[in-house]
Amino acid sequence: MDNTTNNGEQIVDNIKGSYQMMCRAINGGWAAMAQALSTSVTSLQNSVYCRKGQQMSVARAMAMQTASGTTYFAEALARDSGGVFIALPPANEFGNVDIQEKYVELLDRVGALAREYREATADHKVDRTERRTLEKLGNNICQLVTQINQMTFRIYCKQES
């Protein structure tokens, strides 16, 4: 299973893949993840690969996500549910300048999507790799628009008590 786009960005295909990616993302790999979860590498692998009747609990997957400093599990869960995970910036850590920078980033991403679309449809068919790239770019645009809105609301909307 290839978990990267053409430009090397990580993508999450499924929930089991997110577990594997979180183990690779933590400094020290599987051994460090097992240590962070107070378990053995073998037990962790059994949970990840559903061996010997073991399964991954949501609590353990969330602990893995925290330990790895990623959002891979949330992204996979959202994707499997037919949605998109949108990370929101922490409150009070941005300003109007940051919103303007996000708009410039949005324009760049829309341009990238347009270029990829043109290239992908030039032969009148979209293959699996092209589809994954277009989906990733589209999801990134949706995430960015939601982030911009949330940042705007946090700065400019009156807080209700």
Same-domain status, 75 and 45: yes
Residue 9 lies in a domain: no
Question: pLDDT by residue (tens digit) across 15-61?
Answer: 999 999 999 999 999 999 999 999 999 999 999 999 988 899 999 99
pLDDT exceeds cutoff 80 at 7: no
Instruction: Pick left, alpha or beta for residue 51 (phi over 0 → left; psi -120 to 50 → alpha; otherwise beta).
Output: beta
Tell which of 46, 80, 114 closes a domain: 80
Residue 6 lies in a domain: no
Entry field: residues in the chain:
161
Residue 71 lies in a domain: yes
Domain count, the chain: 2
* Helices 15-25 and 58-68, packing angle to 10 deg: 40
Question: pLDDT by residue (tens digit) across 88-126?
Answer: 766 666 666 788 888 999 999 999 999 999 999 999 999
The model scores a pTM over 0.75: no
Same-domain status, 64 and 100: no
Question: Which range of residues forms the domain containing residue 52?
Answer: 15-80
Same-domain status, 123 and 72: no
Tell which of 80, 106, 131 closes a domain: 80
User: What single DSSP character describes residue 27?
Assistant: T
Residue 131 lies in a domain: yes
